[in-house]
Amino acid sequence: EVELVESGGGLVQPGGSLRLSCVASGFNFRKYDMHWVRQVTGKGLEWVSGIGTAGDTKYPGSVKDRFTISRENAKNSVYLQLNSLRVGDTAVYYCARGLREFNFYTMGVWGQGTTVTVSS
């Protein structure tokens, strides 16, 4: 069964850091592009990072220089390092996989999400 399981969320103070992890199973991880998408409570979805099979990374301007996505194929894992966190970064963070091998632009499999709360 194809599955993505996120972990690492929690409560952190403004300015703090957190590292989210996503472990994949049931598919050939190294052949899939991976993403992180977040949803602030009551708001819409926001794409926050993507990483290709070759390790190339992409970010929107809202998180560039604060968030870093990485992958470790040997552990079937993708990570999101969150730095300089702001109250506005409070959200559920989802890990997602490309719909097909080497397909970056459609997110076909999603985890259940991990909650990040930034508050003093």
Rounded to whole angstroms, how far apart are CA atoms 58 and 95? 15
Rounded to whole angstroms, how far apart are CA atoms 17 and 24? 23
Among 27, 68, 81, 113, binds another protein (CB under 8 A): 113
Choices 24-32, 56-64, 67-75, 81-89; region in contact with another protein by CB under 8 A: 56-64
Looking at the Cβ atoms of 44 and 120, the one nearer to another protein is 44
Work out whether 27 is an interface residue with another protein (CB under 8 A). Answer: no
35, 37, 49, 75, 76 from 30: Cα distances, Å = 13, 20, 17, 10, 8
Site residues, another protein (CB under 8 A): 35, 37, 44-47, 50, 58-61, 94, 96, 99, 105-108, 110-113
